[in-house]
Amino acid sequence: MSVIPRKAVLKAKPYQPGKPIEEVKRELGLKDVIKMASNENPLGPSPKAVEAIKKQAGNINRYPEGGCFYLRQAIARKFKIKPEQVIFGNGSDELIGIALRAFVEEGDEVIVANPTFLMYEVASIVHGASVKVVPMRYFKYDLKAMKEAVTKNTKIVFVANPDNPNGTYVSRHELEDFLKGLPREIIVFLDEAYFEFAEEQDYPNGLDYLGKNNIIVTRTFSKAYGLAGLRVGYGISNPEIIKYMEAVREPFNVNSLAQAGAVGALRDKDFLSKAKKIVREGKKFIYYELKMMGVRYVPSVTNFILIELGSKSGEVAERLLKKGVIVRNMKAWGLENFIRVTIGKESENKRFIKELKKIVL
Ligand SMILES: Cc1ncc(COP(=O)(O)O)c(C=O)c1O
């Protein structure tokens, strides 16, 4: 029996996530595996999030509150915005699709950079958008070129700040130059999944620019807050944009445990500062070791580092995997000479360096 999918689906390139620890253990028969491949938080979840989830567990016979009432209040209070300026997603990933569903017709144009977070292109293709790709310059978003690529058919420009996989950021000045004179109808999807880690003076807070342009700022509980498995992210914009996005959202897209966990995590300031500290220190250690080995890397403001290992990078990733160290092979991004490694706990960073030395030196 043959079926006929939408034309856009025939062009879809499925996203390949980092390998889960359990899968590697199963497939390679390994007992001790560490994952440094998906920019997760190595500390585990925030204890306050776990406590809140436990309390909520007895209620999962009921559907969740579709509007994420308590989480919405907490986010609105934290950022001093109106509750109707926020939308929640099953991870911030889901908000990419929601924005496309709300604003992009078949054939409309979206602009993405390359290489950047792959989901912008993956989701845009599935939604039937025409994707215009603008190359990065020296591992950084080229916002000038992205603005020049705008046409009357452009609906959304996707900007990851900081970027994944490069770990670089767009400065306040660069963002302001980009926004100045950009036609108002164009939506800037400003993905700040790694916002909490970026501590540079000139790193802009996307929320400061709401109102002047049509901007959707997205953030997540998956990284600094340690809740990747729960799947919660949020988008902040003006109430009109949020209203259209809400119209195409699944009614119960964020489950009740995720909502409770996220509220708990927001209260856990201690956990957040520990997570930032471990990344700051881990990065310093890995940078130092890489320098000693004569290995080049892209300085990062996030919790991961893009490391240049030449044409054998894919092989290095495979050999590390066999030793129980999961890092990201960058082939899917077209970065054949690189691997990407997420900062882990001190012991994990040491193990990664030890295994890398055995391969590279
Ligand atoms: C730049 C960027 N945006 C969004 C996401 C999606 O995160 P989540 O769906 O877990 O919120 C990721 C995850 O790796 C990312 O790197």
Mean of per-residue pLDDT scores for the chain: 96
Quick one: average pLDDT of 8-20? 87
Residue 120 pLDDT more than 90?
Answer: yes
CA of 91 relative to ligand 1 center, distance in Å: 7
Q: Which two tokens stand for residue 110?
A: 């979206």
Give the predicted TM-score (pTM) of the model: 0.97
Helices (H), the chain: 7-10, 21-28, 47-57, 69-79, 93-103, 119-126, 143-148, 172-179, 239-247, 256-267, 269-293, 313-322, 346-360
| CATH code, 341 | 3.90.1150.10
The whole-number pLDDT of residue 1 equals 65
Distances (CA, A) of 111 to 131, 189, 284: 6, 10, 34
Q: How far is CA 185 from the centre of its chain?
A: 25
231's torsion region: left (phi>0), alpha (psi -120 to 50) or beta? left
- Note whether 210 and 353 are same-domain residues: no
Q: What is the share, in percent, of the chain residues with pLDDT greater than 70?
A: 100
> What Cα–Cα distance (Å) separates residue 59 from each residue in 6, 62, 129, 231, 354?
39, 6, 40, 18, 46
> Does 73 share its domain with 208?
yes
Q: Parallel, antiparallel, or unpaired for β 154-160 and 130-135?
A: unpaired
Residues 118 and 83 in one domain: yes
**Would 309 be classed as within a structural domain?**
yes
For 86-107, b/e burial (b = at least 16 CB within 10 A) is: bbbbbbbbbbbbbbbebbbeee
Q: What is the whole-number distance in angstroms between the Cα of residue 31 and the centre of ligand 1?
A: 28
pLDDT digit string, tens, across residues 69-81? 999 999 999 999 9
Residue 257: CB partners within 8 Å, gap ≥ 6?
A: 53, 56, 57, 60, 230
For residue 208, which amino acid is it?
D
Domain final position from 239, 268, 297: 268
CA-CA-CA-CA torsion sign (267, 273, 276, 279): negative
Is residue 96 one of the residues assigned to a domain? yes
251 and 317 share one domain: no
Q: State whether 291 and 245 are in the same domain.
A: no
For the Cβ of 39 lying below 6 angstroms from any atom of ligand 1, the answer is: yes
Residue 119 lies in a domain: yes
pLDDT at 344 over 90: yes
Tokens of 76: 């609105």
Among candidate residues 240, 268, 296, the one where a domain is terminated? 268
The rounded radius of gyration (Å) of the Cα atoms in the chain is: 20
Q: Is the CB of 192 under 6 A from ligand 1?
A: no
Q: Are 25 and 143 in the same domain?
A: no
- Answer yes or no: do 19 and 60 share one domain: no
Distance CA 130, CA 125 (A): 7
Q: Compute the CA torsion angle 349, 353, 355, 356 (nearest 10 deg).
A: 130
Amino acid letter, 310? G
Residue 361, pLDDT above cutoff 90: no
Residue 68 lies in a domain: yes
User: Are 120 and 38 members of one domain?
Assistant: no
Same domain for 101 and 236?
Answer: yes
Look at residue 1 and tell me if it is in a domain.
Answer: no
| 195 in the same domain as 153 | yes
Structural domain for 97, as ranges:
47-268
231 and 94 in a common domain: yes
The answer to whether position 2 is within a domain reads no
Contact 135, 113 (CB under 8 A): yes
CATH code where residue 181 lies: 3.40.640.10
Cβ neighbour number for residue 237 with a 10 Å cutoff: 29
Complete edge-to-edge strand list for the sheet that includes strand 338-342: 296-298, 304-308, 338-342, 328-329
Within 10 Å of residue 205's Cβ, how many Cβ atoms? 14
* pLDDT digit string, tens, across residues 35-59: 999 999 999 999 999 999 999 999 9
164 CB less than 6 Å from ligand 1?
A: yes
323 inside domain:
yes
Q: How far away, in angstroms, is 185 Cα from ligand 1 center?
A: 25
208, 211, 217, 221: CA torsion to nearest 10: 70
Tens of pLDDT, residues 291-307? 999 999 999 999 999 99
Q: 3-state class of 303 per DSSP?
A: coil
Pairing of strands 154-160, 187-191: parallel
233 band by pLDDT with thresholds 50, 70 and 90: very high
Instruction: Please work out whether the CB of residue 198 comes within 6 Å of at least one atom of ligand 1.
Output: no
Mutate to test the pocket of ligand 1, among 117, 196, 330 (most ligand atoms within 8 A of CB): 117
Taking CA atoms, 276 is separated from 46, 158, 197, 267, in Å, by: 13, 26, 6, 16
Residue 190 in domain: yes
Domain stops at, among 227, 252, 268? 268
Give me the number of domains the chain comprises.
Answer: 2
User: Do 285 and 151 sit in the same domain of this protein?
Assistant: no
Helices (H) and strands (E) in the chain, counts: 13, 13
Can you tell me which atom of ligand 1 is nearest the CA of 191? 3
Confidence grade of residue 168 (pLDDT, cut at 50, 70, 90) = very high
Q: Which atom of ligand 1 is nearest to the CA of 90?
A: 9
- Determine the pLDDT at residue 17: 86
| CB 117 less than 6 A from any atom of ligand 1 | yes
